[in-house]
Amino acid sequence: MALKYRIGEMGWYNFERLIKTLLKKVIGAGVTSFGGSKDGGRDATFAGVAPYPSRESPWGGEWVFQVKYVDDDQGFGNTARSSLKSKFKQEIQTVRARRNAAIENYVLITNVPLTAGSRAELADVAIRAGQTGNFTVIDGHEVCEWLDIHPELRRSFPQLLGLSDLNQILNSAIYSRSKAYFEQWAPRLAVFVQTDAFIKALQVLSKHRFLVLDGPPETGKSMIAAAVTLLYASEGFEVYDIRSPEDMHAVMRQPGKKLFVADDAIGSVSLQSDKNDAWARDLPGIVRSLDKDRLLIWTARHYILEAALSGSALGDALDHFPGEHEVVVEVGDLSQLEKAEILYNHAKRARLAPGHRSLIRRLALTIVLHPNFTPERIRQLVERLGDSSPSGERWTSAQVSQFLTNPGARWVKAYKALSGSEQALLIALLDLDESPTIAELRKAYENRIVGIHGPLTFQEAVSRLKHSFVTVAKTFQRIEVINFKHPSLRDLLLSQLRGDPTARRRYIELTSPGGLAKVIEGFAVAGSGPLANP
C-alpha cells in the first residue's frame, strides 16, 4: 500500500520524534515523550480531555500512546501487518503489567497502512489482553493525513519532502518550473537532519530576505540551501537555480513568489573575480528589490567569502545590508546528537548489507567522534559501503577509519579505475566555468580524447559518470548543464594533476588560457606552489 509520505523509510527514531510532535498538535502540549527504544518498549501518556477522535466526541481521562514502527524493506503487505500484530501482542501485556489501573484510552500508532481486517485483529488482541476502555489504531495513511493537516511540521522535519512524491505536494506549475532542481535534491533531502544552522538559516531568510551560507567543503551548505528551498517551494515559491545576477534580472519582476539559489555564488574552488565583480556591482540593487515574495540564498566556502569581503566592493555591498554578520550563517558546527542522526539517516536509507550494518552499529560512536566528521564525508562513506555490498567486499574497522581520515584515497582509486575517455571528460570539466552547458563540455571533451584508443562517445562517457562523478541538470531556462557531483571532486582532480607530471603536461598543452588560470588559482588556494616542471 503506497503512502503519500514514505514514512516507512524514516527509521524508528525519526518516526517516534515525528509522532511525538504530531500528538502535541493533535492531542495537546501535555503529551509526554517516548522512551527512545527501538521496539517501543516505553509509552507516552496524556491526562485530560482531547479533541480526539473528534471535537464533537472527545475522549477524556488517562491516555496511553504506543508507537510501533515496522521497517519498509520490501513494501508494506501481509508480512508487515503480521509483524505489527506480533509486536503489539507482546507490548500490550507489558504496558498493562506496568499499570495498576485500567487504561481509559489506548492509542496504537504505526507507520504500517492497515486493512479493515487487520484493524479488527489488533482490536481483538487488545480485548483479549484485558483492555476495557477506548482503543484505536492510527495507521500510516492517517499519519500522512495528519501531516497534510499540519504542513508547518515540514519545517521541523524537512526530510518529509524527500520522502514524498513532490508533484502531489507542490503546485503543478511550480513543480514543472523547478523540476530539475527538485529531482536533484529531493532524494538527498530524505536523510536531512534539522541542525541549529538550518534553524538559523530559516530565521535569517525570513527576516532579511537574503541568506548567505558560509563554511568549508563538505559541511552541508548546499544541502541546507536545498532543504530551505524545498520548504519554501511547498509554501508556494517558484525556485530558480541561478549562476549570475543577470539570471535574477531576467525574471525578478515577473508575477509570483520566487526564491533564487546561487550555489557557490562567487566560486567553488577559489574566488572568481568576474563573479565577484558582477555580484558586487548588482547586489545593492538586488537587495533593495528583495521582499517577502523575492528571496535570495547564496552558498560560499569560508575562505572564498572571506577573500570577497576583504578589500573588495562585495564587502562594501554586504556591509551596507544589513550587515554581513546578520545575513551570514556559518555551517559546520554539529552537536554529537546531530552527527549521530546524520549517520543513522544515511545508514538507514542506504539499505546496507547485514555485515556493513553491523559494522556501522559497532563503530557508531567512533565515527561520530571522529575529528573529520562532516555530512558529506558520511554520505560518501555510506555510499561506498553500499556500492561494495553487492560485490561481497567487506570493509574492516581500519578501512572505515582510513576513509574518514582520507576519503580521497577511495575516490582516487575509483578515478584511476576509469577509462581514458571518462578521465578525459572529468579533466575537461576543469577547463570550463561552473555548470557548463552540455555543448560546451562536448567540445572540450572531443578536444581531449584525440589520441585515446577506442574513445567513448561523449554521451557514453556522460552516462557512465552520471551516477558517480557528475550530475546533469536543467536550468530554469531549460538548458542542460553538467557539474561535478561534489566540489571536492574538483579538488581531487587538482591533486592528481599536481602529483602526475605527465598528466599535468598534457593538461597544459590542451587547456585554454582561462582553464589554465583556474587550475593555477586552485593550486594556490589548496596550498600548492606554482606548476613546476611542465
Which H, E and C letters describe 170-214, residue by residue? CCHHHHHHCHHHHHHHHHHHCCCCCCHHHHHHHHHHHHHCEEEEE
Same domain, 90 and 198: no
For residue 481, give the nearest of 177, 173, 276, 180 by alpha carbon: 180
| Residue 1 falls inside a structural domain | no
Q: What is the pLDDT of residue 480?
A: 86
Spatial separation of the C-alpha atoms in residues 298 and 324, rounded to whole Å: 13
User: Up-side HSE of residue 46: CA atoms within 13 Å toward CB?
Assistant: 23
The DSSP H or E segment spanning 118 is helix 116-128
Q: What is the pLDDT of residue 507?
A: 66
> What is the mean pLDDT of the segment spanning 7-31?
91
Q: pLDDT class for 533, splitting at 50, 70, 90?
A: very low
Same domain, 357 and 457: no
Candidate from 2-11, 102-111, 401-410 with smallest mean pLDDT: 401-410
500 pLDDT exceeds 80? Answer: no
CA 506 to chain centre: 37
For 49, residues 6+ apart whose C-beta sits below 8 A from its C-beta are 58, 59, 60
Q: What is the pLDDT of residue 277?
A: 86
What are the CA-CA distances from residue 238 to residues 176, 235, 282 (Å)? Answer: 10, 9, 22
Same domain, 172 and 320: yes
Please identify, among 330, 357, 373, the residue that sits at the C-terminal boundary of a domain: 330
Q: What is the pLDDT of residue 149?
A: 93
Beta partners for residue 377, in sequence order: none
For 166, residues 6+ apart whose C-beta sits below 8 A from its C-beta are 175, 182, 186, 230
Spatial separation of the C-alpha atoms in residues 2 and 20, rounded to whole Å: 23
Same domain, 350 and 491: no
Same domain, 139 and 19: yes
Question: CA torsion 349→350→351→354, rounded to 10°?
Answer: -130
**Structural domain containing residue 215:** 156-330
Candidate from 279-283, 429-433, 494-498 with smallest mean pLDDT: 494-498
What are the CA-CA distances from residue 15 to residues 21, 28, 125, 163 (Å)? Answer: 10, 19, 24, 12
Same domain, 387 and 287: no
Q: pLDDT class for 483, splitting at 50, 70, 90?
A: confident
What are the CA-CA distances from residue 350 to residues 17, 39, 256, 380, 387 (Å)? Answer: 21, 21, 38, 11, 10
Number of domains in the chain: 4
Percent of the chain whose predicted confidence (pLDDT) is above 90: 40
Spatial separation of the C-alpha atoms in residues 444 and 423, rounded to whole Å: 13
Same domain, 458 and 397: no
- Under a CB-based contact definition with an 8 Å cutoff, are residues 180 and 473 in contact? yes
Q: pLDDT class for 420, splitting at 50, 70, 90?
A: confident
Same domain, 290 and 360: no
> What is the mean pLDDT of the segment spanning 481-501?
76
Give the DSSP per-residue string, 394-451. Answer: ---HHHHHHHHH-THHHHHHHHHTS-HHHHHHHHHHHHS-SS-BHHHHHHHHHHHSTT
> What is the mean pLDDT of the segment spanning 223-251?
91
- Under a CB-based contact definition with an 8 Å cutoff, are residues 495 and 225 in contact? no
| Residue 440 falls inside a structural domain | yes
| Residue 2 falls inside a structural domain | no
| Residue 534 falls inside a structural domain | no
- Under a CB-based contact definition with an 8 Å cutoff, are residues 224 and 204 in contact? no
Grid coordinates belonging to 93:
501485556
Please identify, among 311, 330, 349, the residue that sits at the C-terminal boundary of a domain: 330
Same domain, 272 and 258: yes
Percent of the chain whose predicted confidence (pLDDT) is above 70: 84
> What is the mean pLDDT of the segment spanning 257-272?
84
> What is the mean pLDDT of the segment spanning 410-420?
78
Grid coordinates belonging to 107:
492509542
* pLDDT, mean over the chain: 84
Q: What is the pLDDT of residue 530?
A: 33
Domain at 109, CATH number = 3.40.1350
Same domain, 96 and 168: no
Same domain, 77 and 22: yes
| Residue 260 falls inside a structural domain | yes
| Residue 533 falls inside a structural domain | no
Same domain, 193 and 303: yes
67 pLDDT exceeds 70? Answer: yes
Candidate from 84-93, 325-334, 336-345 with smallest mean pLDDT: 325-334
- The owner of cell 557548463 is 436
Please identify, among 104, 127, 149, the residue that sits at the C-terminal boundary of a domain: 149
Domain at 486, CATH number = 1.10.10.10
The DSSP H or E segment spanning 180 is helix 179-189
| Residue 462 falls inside a structural domain | yes
Q: pLDDT class for 311, splitting at 50, 70, 90?
A: low
The structure's pTM equals: 0.76
| Residue 532 falls inside a structural domain | no
pLDDT digits (tens, 9 = 90+) for 101-153: 788 999 999 999 999 999 999 999 999 999 999 999 999 999 999 999 999 98
pLDDT digits (tens, 9 = 90+) for 173-226: 888 878 888 888 998 899 999 999 999 999 999 999 999 998 877 788 999 999
Q: pLDDT class for 529, splitting at 50, 70, 90?
A: very low
Spatial separation of the C-alpha atoms in residues 494 and 93, rounded to whole Å: 62
